[in-house]
Amino acid sequence: MESFGRRLRAATDARGPLCVGIDPHPALLAQWGLEDDVAGLERFAFTVVEALADRVAVLKPQSAFFERFGSRGIVVLESTIRQSRQAGVQVLLDVKRGDIGSTMAAYASAYLDPDSALSVDAITVSPYLGVGSLAPAFDLATAHGAGVFVLALTSNPEGPEVQHAVTAAGKTVAQTVIDEISQLNAGADGLGSFGLVVGATIGETGHDLSKVNGPLLAPGLGAQGGDPAGLRAIFGESLRNVLPSYSREVLSAGPDVAALQAAADRAQAACRAVIG
């Protein structure tokens, strides 16, 4: 199978560098005039897929907002993934899993094995049990042409306490994560399949992203305060590999399909102006 990195590059070249989250949290359901129940969840998710799956590079369902409805919510998530992938959009499932040994292998199998009902193009993971603990996800992603995005520099206020801590080797924890993911992408034919999550509102941090050669997911644009123009200061010469991610800024335009499309087009234009 073609690698995720190559599929992602082809998608962003054809459709533009935009990722849109599918985040059906209660406030957005209410804003859309939907009940906070499985029927509302389904209507929300399926409307986003209908509006955007054929015009953006990546859709990013947030698993937690489906999981909170139990097994019925997972059924909706499975259907959302299936419809999205059938429409040709890359699906990045925001699950932020991070564990060790057989447990991490089980998480990887759930999301990266093509035989799973939850199989997606890529997932987010947390490295704070050690980047090496994520090896089962890296291995399965390589075997099946999938991708993995590893948390590196997040925009939550608690993040720097861990991410900017300096290790015995003299690097920050975040730079250690960045360097290990860079090694995974070494020698990749085109864009590597192992990416990082770097918040769009963090500003200049002094970390070196130049050798990653993988996708750089930048959440937090739009309603969360990030502006595409600010991506230059964060990513520098790696700007070409940035995957800017919007959620509420686009989703709040629903439930009208045309309004969702117009909001995504505006975000797309703003990102193209910076990234190209």
CA separation for the pair 24, 12 (Å, rounded): 25
Does residue 96 carry a catalytic annotation?
A: yes
What are the distances in angstroms from CA 194 to CA 158, 181, 182, 189, 209?
Answer: 25, 6, 8, 13, 13
Q: For residue 80, which phi and psi values (nearest 5 degrees)?
A: -60, -45
Q: Select which of 60, 96, 171, 211 is catalytic.
A: 96
Residue the block writes with tokens 């192992």: 194
CA dihedral sign, ordered 165, 126, 214, 190: positive
CA separation for the pair 230, 201 (Å, rounded): 8
CA separation for the pair 108, 207 (Å, rounded): 28
CA separation for the pair 185, 195 (Å, rounded): 9
Active site residues: 96
